């Protein structure tokens, strides 16, 4: 087969890129190694920056978001038994976040892809990429019992952290920057009406906790736990007991308890691979960078990467210019590092770091106290949380 851009991975990055290029009349083939159900049902984060919401609406994939997304003008930071609201809309001239599950975004983008009748292969096996330094890079995969060879002008590696694209880049080309954190997150989906209409980030001596939601009947909650914590150690009652201990505030606020629909533990790491390009292979999203979820940046970074890549490919096919393609990695990495810094800062601000001294603990509390008492500090958090302007 022949196409202009071969896209490996049908997560938010790959599907969004496919749609942006479709709108610019550029041919793509998307190759995904899992089945459609797995890709859609995978429970992930769910906070969209203002820019991501505007983008999805602008490309005609905003109907679900419009009807089921929950716009939040603020968030709460809670510590020492008290919640403190940060009015992000007031501090950023009206910008906000929207809570809308990543799996909903993926479902909407798959529906949009199917409507374009452009190729989307699920269940592709033995996916590999080759000839990255040539003018015709190749994606090979097996679908059903047919072996496919897809000749491309470019390959977009949107196959996540555990994909094949990044590891296909020769040894020594990439610089790897990483930090792992001495804790993970135990996340649950619960059948309980949200008792707060905005997210609550809690610092507690027993560890961090996060109150979020998916709808007016589904709550999404997280607990800081030791890294690699086996979920078996957390029967539902123990989870609720710990959630209530960490989150309940002196004014009596606490999450509603309900049936736990799903639970799991995710590790926490910061990771950047640079450059985000090798030859005709362009990495985007989790294939190139991972942020700890505390800043809710993962999905939004994937979206901003592919906006830059789509612009660069459009320029190439319309004018033959490779300028934007040459600058792709540098443009994306500027935003990636700012998001890395913000996510690291939120993580170290709000988590109980195991080897902290009593001095550090008091300093952490003073950090939080300064934050909720300073308009400048709250504005800095707010403008980063709702999303910095897309800078090309």
DSSP 175-210: EEEEEEEEEEEEEEEEES--SSSS-EEE--TT--EE
Residue 227 annotated among the catalytic residues of the structure: no
Alpha-carbon distance 171 to 168, whole Å?
A: 9
Catalytic residue among 22, 293, 328, 351: 293
201 is catalytic: yes
Taking CB under 6 A as the rule, does residue 39 contact ligand APR?
Answer: yes
Q: Which two tokens stand for residue 132?
A: 């990255």
Binding site partner of 289, from ligand PHB, ligand APR, none, Cβ cut-off 5-8 A by kind: none
Tell me if residue 297 is catalytic. Answer: yes
- Interface of this chain with ligand PHB, residues 179 to 208, rule: CB under 6 A: 199
Q: Which candidate, 126, 101, 137, places its Cα nearest to that of 277?
A: 137
For residue 298, count CB atoms less than 10 angstroms from its CB and return exposed for 0-12, middle for 13-18, buried for 19 or more. buried
33 belongs to the binding site for ligand APR (CB under 6 A): yes
Q: Cα separation of 113 and 136, whole Å?
A: 25
Query: 33: helix, coil or strand?
Result: coil
Q: Using the rule CB under 6 A, which residue among 6, 12, 51, 207 binds ligand APR?
A: 12
Catalytic one of 84, 263, 297, 351: 297
Name, in order, each residue with C-beta under 8 angstroms of 318's C-beta and a sequence gap of 6 or more.
none
Site string for ligand APR, 116-155 (x = CB under 6 A): --------x--x----------------------------
Residue 163 binds to ligand APR (criterion: CB under 6 A): yes
Strand 5-8 relative to strand 28-31, pairing: parallel
CB of 79: closest distance to ligand PHB in angstroms? 16
List the single partner that 127 binds among ligand APR, ligand PHB, none, CB under 5 to 8 Å by kind: ligand APR
- Locate the DSSP E strands across the chain: 5-8, 28-31, 47-48, 70-72, 74-79, 82-87, 97-99, 120-121, 125-130, 138-143, 146-151, 154-157, 175-191, 200-202, 209-213, 218-225, 259-274, 277-278, 281-283, 289-290
- 263: annotated active-site residue: no
Shortest separation between residue 164's beta carbon and ligand APR, angstroms: 4
Q: Is 212 in the site for ligand PHB (CB under 6 A)?
A: yes
Answer for which of 73, 198, 242, 286 binds ligand APR (CB under 6 A) is: 286
Binding site for ligand PHB (CB under 6 A): 45-47, 199, 212, 220, 293-294, 296
Residues catalogued as catalytic:
72, 201, 293, 297, 385
Binding site for ligand APR (CB under 6 A): 8-14, 31-34, 39, 44-45, 102, 124, 127, 158-160, 162-164, 285-287, 298-299, 302
């Amino acid at each position: 087969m022949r196409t202009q851009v071969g896209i490996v991975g049908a997560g938010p990055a790959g599907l969004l890129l496919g749609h942006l290029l479709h709108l610019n009349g550029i041919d793509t083939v998307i190759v995904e190694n899992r089945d459609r159900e797995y890709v859609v049902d995978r429970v992930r984060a769910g906070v969209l920056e203002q820019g991501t919401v505007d983008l999805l609406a602008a490309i005609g994939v905003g109907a679900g978001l419009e009807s089921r997304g929950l716009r939040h003008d603020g968030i709460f930071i809670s510590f020492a038994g008290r919640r403190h609201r940060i009015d992000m809309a007031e501090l950023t001239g009206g910008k906000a976040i929207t809570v809308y599950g990543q799996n909903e975004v993926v479902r909407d983008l798959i529906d949009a892809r199917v409507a374009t009748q452009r190729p989307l292969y699920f269940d592709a096996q033995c996916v590999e990429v080759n000839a990255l330094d040539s003018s015709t890079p190749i994606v090979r995969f097996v679908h059903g019992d047919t072996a496919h060879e897809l000749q491309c002008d470019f390959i977009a590696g949107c196959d996540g952290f555990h994909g094949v694209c990044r590891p296909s880049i020769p040894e020594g080309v990439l610089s790897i920057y990483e930090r792992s954190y001495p804790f993970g997150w135990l996340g649950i989906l619960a059948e309980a009406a949200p008792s707060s209409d905005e997210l609550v980030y809690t610092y507690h001596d027993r560890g961090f906790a996060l109150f979020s939601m998916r709808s007016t009947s589904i709550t999404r909650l997280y607990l800081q736990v030791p890294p690699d914590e086996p979920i078996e150690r957390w029967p539902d009652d123990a989870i609720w007991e710990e959630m209530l201990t960490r989150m309940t505030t002196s004014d009596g606020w606490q999450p509603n308890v309900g049936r736990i629909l799903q639970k799991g533990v995710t590790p926490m790491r910061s990771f950047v691979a640079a450059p985000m390009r090798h030859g005709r292979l362009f990495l985007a999203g989790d294939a190139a960078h991972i942020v700890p979820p505390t800043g809710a940046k993962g999905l939004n970074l994937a979206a901003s990467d592919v906006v830059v890549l789509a612009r660069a490919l459009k320029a190439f096919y319309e004018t033959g210019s490779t300028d934007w393609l040459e600058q792709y990695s540098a443009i994306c990495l500027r935003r990636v590092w700012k998001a890395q810094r913000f996510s690291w800062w939120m993580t170290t601000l709000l988590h109980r770091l195991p080897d902290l001294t009593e001095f550090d603990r008091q300093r952490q509390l003073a950090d939080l106290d300064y934050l909720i008492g300073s308009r400048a500090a709250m504005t800095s958090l707010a403008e980063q949380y709702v999303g910095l302007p897309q800078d090309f």
